[in-house]
Amino acid sequence: DVKVTQSSRYLVKRTGEKVFLECVQDMDHENMFWYRQDPGLGLRLIYFSYDVKMKEKGDIPEGYSVSREKKERFSLILESASTNQTSMYLCASSFPTENNSPLHFGNGTRLTVT
Amino acid sequence: TQLLEQSPQFLSIQEGENLTVYCNSSSVFSSLQWYRQEPGEGPVLLVTVVTGGEVKKLKRLTFQFGDARKDSSLHITAAQPGDTGLYLCAGANDKIIFGKGTRLHILP
């Protein structure tokens, strides 16, 4: 079974802190994604990566950056956390999308910024 | 901009009843995926439909992809409390687009 592991289930950070959310997958997937999920807004794509050291902006990249130094690891960085970044963050991985490959999600990190 | 509209947003029904949730778009997708998400967990794939008009069954769940590959439906027969969760459809082309989901609650 594919396993996507997010380093923390719950995080509480203060406004202005730098926050790192880590995600590791064990299936040698090329693609990795970061989403945030908010009530009434669904899943929104923040950043994605199709290869090591490659990154692309999703629909809502403002206030975030990412790092993919190794194929299995995709990190989401909040440079200066703000209260409007309180959310559930979901990492996912997949084989190339043109193969109709599904996304495999981690169990999420619920981040609260106070 | 590709959009996927899911309806209804919320559905609460009694155990044993049947239900259908819908996923509609004006865009054509090469495939459509359905996921279920339970509280505190990430979404998990239920099925992928690829061919227009395709019907797939997963026990009491029946998934249909529209002939024009723009819409899909999920029908649950004799709903059980274990079916409770958030159902998400996702259309795939060069990237994957998610609907906002249908939150289903089955009352025992």
Residue B51 is classified by DSSP as S
Q: What is the DSSP string of A22-88?
A: -EEESS--SEEEEEEEETTTEEEEEEEESSTT--EE-S--TTEEEEEEETTEEEEEESS--GGG-EE
Burial class (CB in 10 A: 0-12, 13-18, 19+), A81: buried
Say if residues A44 and A35 touch (Cβ distance below 8 Å).
Answer: yes
Contact A97 B92 (CB under 8 A): yes
Determine the pLDDT at residue A100: 73
pLDDT digits (tens, 9 = 90+) for A81-112: 999 999 999 999 998 866 678 899 999 999 99
- Judged against a pLDDT cut of 80, whether residue B1 lies above it is answered with no
Cα–Cα–Cα angle for A106, A107, A108, rounded to 5 degrees:
95
Q: Is B66 on the interface with A (CB under 8 A)?
A: no
Q: Smallest Cβ distance to A107: which of B42, B45, B90? A: B42
Residues of B in contact with A90 (CB under 8 A): 42-43
Residue A101 is classified by DSSP as P
Say if residues B27 and B3 touch (Cβ distance below 8 Å).
Answer: yes
Question: What is the nearest CA distance from A59 to chain B, expressed in angstroms?
Answer: 11
Instruction: Say how many residues make up chain B.
Output: 108
Residues of B in contact with A105 (CB under 8 A): 42-44
Q: Smallest Cβ distance to B33: which of A41, A43, A102? A: A102
- Judged against a pLDDT cut of 90, whether residue B100 lies above it is answered with yes
Task: Name every residue whose Cβ is closer than 8 Å to that of residue B44 and which is 6 or more positions away in sequence.
Answer: A105, B35, B36, B37
- pLDDT band of B2, cuts 50, 70, 90: low
As a whole number of angstroms, the distance between CA A103 and CA B3 comes to 18
Tracing tokens 């669904």 back to the chain, one arrives at A42
Q: Is B98 on the interface with A (CB under 8 A)?
A: yes
Determine the pLDDT at residue B83: 96
Q: For residue B57, report the phi and psi dihedrals to the nearest 5 degrees.
A: -115, 140
